[in-house]
């Protein structure tokens, strides 16, 4: 099992630390040929406009779209925006997931927050049923899921913060900023 982490910009190093702790082989991906031989890819948090622009400049959009047709991809925050079909704004997107997202949906940085979430999907693999402590940084929300995309978690007010569509996964929050590796293990289960 080898999982790549898109290393254009953002907190890719934090994902790599968690993957290594789970004894998963991992590498940074900056150019298309670095996707070869990977079982899955994580698109980290960062600025979605920066990641999108550089993905265009270095001809990564099409290779990433092809990769996502047959392989697992997980986007956290900016990564979730990049995976979506619609970000309510004109910027480069992979358009792989049938989700509509709204950027900076909670406001500016002073509104960034931590909260506990109920995530039933994490409990099915036998892991502990404890709440998942999630960190939201200038976070997007998933306004709607369409087609075969399904909601994995929502805030008490109903706003969607995690979604899955087959082997594709999107979270508004940042499991890589915590010591809780349940979400990474869940993603590995999709990457087989």
Catalytic residues: 77, 174, 176
Beta carbon of residue 62, minimum distance to other proteins (angstroms, whole number): 19
Q: Is 78 in the site for other proteins (CB under 8 A)?
A: yes
Per-residue tokens: 115: 């909260």
Range 101-108 contact pairs with CB under 8 angstroms and sequence separation of 24 or more:
101/140, 101/141, 101/142, 101/143, 101/170, 102/140, 102/141, 102/143, 103/48, 103/140, 104/138, 104/139, 104/140, 105/139, 105/140, 105/141, 105/143, 105/159, 105/172, 106/136, 106/138, 106/139, 106/141, 108/138
Q: 50, 66, 124, 148: which one contacts other proteins (CB under 8 A)?
A: 50
Q: Is 111 in the site for other proteins (CB under 8 A)?
A: yes
Stretch that binds other proteins, among 50-58, 61-69, 120-128, 160-168 (CB under 8 A): 50-58
Give 131's DSSP letter: P
Q: 3, 4, 5, 11: which one contacts other proteins (CB under 8 A)?
A: 11
Beta carbon of residue 177, minimum distance to other proteins (angstroms, whole number): 5
Q: Is 49 in the site for other proteins (CB under 8 A)?
A: yes
For binding to other proteins (CB under 8 A), which residues are involved? 7-14, 30, 45-47, 49-50, 53-54, 57, 77-78, 89, 103-104, 107-117, 131, 135-138, 155-156, 174, 177
């Amino acid at each position: 099992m080898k999982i790549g982490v898109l290393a254009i910009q953002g907190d890719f190093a934090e994902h790599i630390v968690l993957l290594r702790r789970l004894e998963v082989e991992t590498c940074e991906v900056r150019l298309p040929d670095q996707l070869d031989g990977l079982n899955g890819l994580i698109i980290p948090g960062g600025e979605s406009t920066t990641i999108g622009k550089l993905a265009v400049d270095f001809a990564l959009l099409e290779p990433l779209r092809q990769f996502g047709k047959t392989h697992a991809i997980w986007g956290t925050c900016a990564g979730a925006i990049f995976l979506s079909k619609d970000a309510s704004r004109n910027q480069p997107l992979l358009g792989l997931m049938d989700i509509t997202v709204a950027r900076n949906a909670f406001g500016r940085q002073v509104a960034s927050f931590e909260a506990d979430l109920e995530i039933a999907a994490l409990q099915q693999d036998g892991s502990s049923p404890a709440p998942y402590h999630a960190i939201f940084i200038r976070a997007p929300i998933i306004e709607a899921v369409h087609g075969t995309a399904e909601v994995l978690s929502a805030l008490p007010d109903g706003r969607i913060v995690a979604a899955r569509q087959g082997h594709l996964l999107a979270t508004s929050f940042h499991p890589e900023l915590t010591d809780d590796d349940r979400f990474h293990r869940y993603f590995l289960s999709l990457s087989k």
